[in-house]
Amino acid sequence: MGKMNLRPDETELIGSWVVKDGRMAEDEVCVRIRVLTESELQRIAKTKDGWETLYRDSSDGRYWELTYPRSEMHGGGPIALTVASQPTLQEKYGVSIDS
């Protein structure tokens, strides 16, 4: 699973849906995001509506936000994982960190 870990140069992972065997399926990026959020990253907080989740990477201390950027699609569409900005941490999740 080493290649699944987030690299220091990565700041966003944007998933897509692909047609596989005649059906819509998550691409490799979506699968990687799910593995990361289920086993590698620590869940910190969720938004009130439950659609966005904040995670922390214990290996480097960065905060990551799981979102659904194509929310108009069925089921919220494919997922994305992006480094969370300081304002996002404070305003959306009420998390403050020392700079």
Cα–Cα distance measured from residue 7 to residue 50, given in angstroms and rounded to the nearest whole number: 27
Domain count, the chain: 1
Q: Answer yes or no: is 71 within a domain.
A: yes
Q: Which residues contact 83 (CB under 8 A, 6 or more apart)?
A: 11, 12, 62, 63, 64, 65
Task: Assess contact for 82 and 20: CB atoms under 8 A.
Answer: no
Q: Regarding beta strands 80-83 and 23-26, do their DSSP bridges make them parallel or antiparallel, or are they unpaired?
A: unpaired
Q: What is the pLDDT along the chain (99 residues), one digit of tens a residue?
A: 445 789 999 999 999 999 989 998 899 999 999 999 999 999 999 998 888 999 999 999 999 999 988 766 666 678 999 999 988 888 899 888 765
Instruction: Show the domain range for 63.
Output: 7-93
Q: Residue 98: what pLDDT?
A: 65
Q: Answer yes or no: is 98 within a domain.
A: no
Question: Residue 62 is inside which H or E element, if any?
Answer: none
Q: Answer yes or no: is 54 within a domain.
A: yes
Q: Residue 67: what pLDDT?
A: 94
Which pTM was predicted?
0.85
Closest listed residue to residue 61, CA positions, set 24, 6, 1: 6
Collapsing DSSP to helix, strand or coil, 94 comes out as: coil
Q: Answer yes or no: is 44 within a domain.
A: yes
Q: Answer yes or no: is 64 within a domain.
A: yes
- Residue 97: phi, psi to the nearest 5? -125, 150
Q: Answer yes or no: is 83 within a domain.
A: yes
Q: Residue 29: what pLDDT?
A: 95
